[in-house]
Amino acid sequence: MKKTLLFSLLLLLLIGCNDNSSMKTFSKFPEKIKLEGEKSGLKPHFKIAKLNIYDSLLLITESKTENTIHLYNKDDFAHILSTGKIGRGPGEIKSPGFYVFDNENGILWTPDLGKGEIMEWIIDTLLVKGKAYQPAISYKTPSCLWPTPCFSPLNDSVFLYRVQDNPDYYFYAANTKGKIIDSLNIKNKTKIYPDVNKKDLIAARWFLHIVHPSEKKIIITYREADIIVGIDFNGNILFQKQGPDMIQESPANNYMKRTYYSLGATEDHIFGLYKGGYVKKRPKDKPKYSENIFVFNWQGKPIVNLQLNHPTQSFDIDKENNRIITYAADLGEIVCYELPSFLYNNKDE
């Protein structure tokens, strides 16, 4: 009887140790590396800018100037063209939302909040036609989701839309006509923020996500908690990890501590632009931007904390040149950082 009881306890312990759905914590990264940025001389002076690298191009997208899409050469930062005009005419964007770039297919998706649709810009075609190019294809957004939240293409005919006002789900799936496909919706199976008020989430971007370039895997990071979660396309939890600061503020409070700002990825690593402190203490305060990029592998293992010498608003990984390209908030300039060699030589395992 005692042997049976002991065996049962050991079995339960082993099961608990291998339970991916339980929250694991860590207090520090194995390495901390200070990086020195190299100024590019490119000062686009955008209030809010998002960077994406595609082939030989640096894409900068924003929503506060007449043209919202800007293409540069990523090596010498020479300007190529600007387009995506804000307006009411053919091919123009009435009210821009958060642009999404599909690096695998070279497509920039631009949601138009005023028209309730998403426009498809094929970058290779844009380069050939220049300013004469007009998006030929547009997709309707679900009427139940407004304003259009961040999204990712699941396949050629389905988009995953990040759910903002229902903590029971991470994503709703919808076809190109904006119809929700219930069977493809992805539930939130974690117990993070179990008692949050749904009304407080209506205008809150309470988590970020990135999809693996080739595997059916999604990484979730929280904006007011230093928590990273891995899930599959069915919402099954692959891992949950919290650290190193143990922050878990209410997602409804925009003036408390902020953790993850934006995400980037390679086949082997996830890069999270991380603040870990107050963004604003009062509504009129100027925002404070991140000076750290946390790096994990796709199994959620912490790899390294990269410390930048300029607060950064946005970034992407230039895989060809093994560097991080950033938009430095203090300089209003593109600044580049060399990646440590072990992040592209697969020596972290």
The 3-class SS string of 110-151 reads EEECCCCEEEEEEHHHHHHHHHHCCCCCEEECCCCCCCCCCE
Angstrom CA distances, 290 to 18, 41, 102, 280, 304, stand at: 34, 21, 24, 13, 16
- Please give the pLDDT value at position 10: 47
CA 12 to chain centre: 36
Q: Is residue 10 part of a domain?
A: no
**Helices assigned H by DSSP within the chain:** 2-17, 123-129
Q: Is residue 83 part of a domain?
A: yes
Q: What is the dihedral of CA 27, 33, 34, 40, to 10 degrees?
A: -120
Distance CA 288, CA 275 (A): 8
State the average pLDDT for the chain. 89
Convert the pLDDT of each residue in 135-164 to its tens digit. Answer: 988 899 998 888 888 999 998 899 999 998
Instruction: Name the residue range of residue 322's domain.
Output: 28-343
Q: Compute the C-alpha angle 17/19/24, nearest 5°.
A: 75
Q: Is residue 12 part of a domain?
A: no
User: What residues are paired with 333 via a beta bridge?
Assistant: 328
Q: Is residue 21 part of a domain?
A: no
Convert the pLDDT of each residue in 288-327 to its tens digit. Answer: 899 999 999 999 999 999 999 999 999 999 999 999 999 9
Convert the pLDDT of each residue in 197-233 to its tens digit. Answer: 777 776 678 899 999 988 899 999 999 999 999 999 9
Q: Is residue 6 part of a domain?
A: no
Residue 2 pLDDT greater than 60, yes or no: no
Distance CA 98, CA 304 (A): 29
Reported as a pLDDT band with limits 50, 70 and 90, residue 11 is very low
Residue 333 pLDDT greater than 70, yes or no: yes
Query: What CATH code is carried by the domain that includes residue 137?
Result: 2.120.10.30
Exposure string for 82-108, b = 16+ CB within 10 A, e = fewer? bbbebeeeebbbeebbbbbbbbeebbb
- Please give the pLDDT value at position 190: 95
Q: Is residue 309 part of a domain?
A: yes
Task: Measure CA of the first residue to CA of the last residue in the chain; give whole Å.
Answer: 43
In terms of average pLDDT, the best of 14-23, 61-70, 245-254, 277-286 is 61-70
Number of domains in the chain: 1
Q: Is residue 269 part of a domain?
A: yes
| Amino acid identity at 294 | F
Reported as a pLDDT band with limits 50, 70 and 90, residue 255 is low
- Residue scoring higher pLDDT (255 or 226): 226
- Please give the pLDDT value at position 9: 46
Q: Is residue 141 part of a domain?
A: yes
